[in-house]
């Protein structure tokens, strides 16, 4: 695991002065990822929050080679770059080791870019895909995605007399990637920076494709004060909404186990996107808690805990 002093050497790869919201979880995620990856890194990114705030022409917040591509094809693009790199290495035109990272939000990963991602990892290209999961299409107006949790208010799953927020459960993309047989898959969160940076290093050292799903709280879409991002992230782990674990060559390893039970209702109360669930007794809270309990029990079984 890298020390803070070592990580600080790469501070500024994703530079200050970008236009992300105050308290943006996605910006924190990218800073932590790039502090591990370093300057010898090529980044590809589809359209999304972090692309828009970091590459407003003619400015850029990136000090490494960066490619912006369409919503649906970032994995195809980064796999093409990696294939070209391998060709140049075989010919002796390149001798240095480079990292290849695709970074996408949940809209560009869970939904629009899933086909491209599935194909790239099946072909076994050596790259890391990082999903900063802020659980909606935040860049275009807070529309629901397949990562949006049950009961959350979005502009396309609005709470009202017809529906009480999103009626469907969120997709478990981490387990979908495990099913692809990747040598390294993990979940992380910016509040647990040491765990996150260790997993990025492990992913970059993996011989083959790797995937890290990182929850990225969004003050605007989740509706909480901008200084509460890390607190919100930490409670997502403590309530077991976002378990921290990794799967190495098919073997599950639990990264963190909460010391005491904390009900999901404590996390929901911190966010305006769930406030409608407390206007009267709502069965969605109990349903969400049951889902979390069941998934946690299955995860412990997989981790042999």
Residues near 276 by Cβ (< 8 Å), separated by ≥ 6?
A: 153, 159, 164, 165, 282
* Model confidence pLDDT, tens digit, residues 282-296: 799 999 999 999 999
Task: Select from 18, 49, 55, 14 the least CA-distant residue to 221.
Answer: 49
**Which domains, and CATH codes, for the chain?**
4-302 (3.40.50.970)
CA distances in angstroms from 52 to 5, 27, 69, 242, listed in the order given: 30, 12, 12, 26
Examine the pLDDT at 2 and tell me if it is beyond 80: no
* Model confidence pLDDT, tens digit, residues 178-199: 999 999 999 999 999 999 999 9
pTM of the predicted model as reported, rounded to 2 decimal places: 0.97
């Amino acid at each position: 695991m890298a020390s803070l002093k070592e990580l600080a050497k790469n501070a500024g790869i994703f530079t200050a002065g970008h236009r992300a919201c105050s308290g943006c979880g996605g910006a924190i995620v990218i800073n932590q990822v790039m502090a591990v990856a370093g300057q010898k890194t090529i980044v590809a990114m589809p359209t999304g929050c972090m692309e828009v705030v970091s590459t407003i022409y003619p400015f850029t917040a990136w000090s490494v080679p960066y490619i912006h591509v369409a919503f649906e094809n970032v994995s195809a693009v980064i796999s093409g770059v990696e294939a070209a790199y391998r060709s140049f290495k075989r010919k002796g035109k390149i001798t240095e080791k480079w990292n290849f990272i695709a970074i996408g939000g949940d809209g560009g990963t869970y939904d629009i870019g899933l086909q491209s991602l599935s194909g790239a990892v099946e072909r076994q290209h050596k790259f890391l895909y990082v999903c900063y999961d802020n659980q909606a299409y935040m860049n275009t107006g807070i529309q629901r995605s397949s990562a949006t949790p049950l009961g959350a208010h979005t502009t396309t799953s609005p709470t009202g007399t017809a529906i009480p927020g999103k009626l469907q459960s969120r997709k478990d993309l981490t387990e979908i990637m495990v099913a692809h047989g990747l040598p390294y898959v993990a979940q992380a969160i910016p509040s647990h920076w040491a765990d996150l940076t260790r997993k990025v290093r492990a992913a970059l050292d993996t011989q083959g494709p790797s995937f890290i799903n990182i929850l990225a709280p969004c003050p605007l879409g989740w509706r909480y004060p901008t200084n509460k991002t890390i607190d919100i992230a930490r409670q997502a782990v403590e309530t077991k909404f976002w378990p921290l674990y990794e799967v190495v060559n098919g073997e599950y390893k639990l990264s963190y186990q909460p010391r005491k039970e904390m009900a999901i209702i404590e996390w929901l109360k911190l966010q305006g996107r769930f406030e409608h669930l407390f206007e009267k007794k709502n069965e969605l809270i109990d349903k969400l808690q049951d889902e979390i309990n069941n998934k946690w029990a299955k995860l412990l079984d997989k981790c042999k805990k």
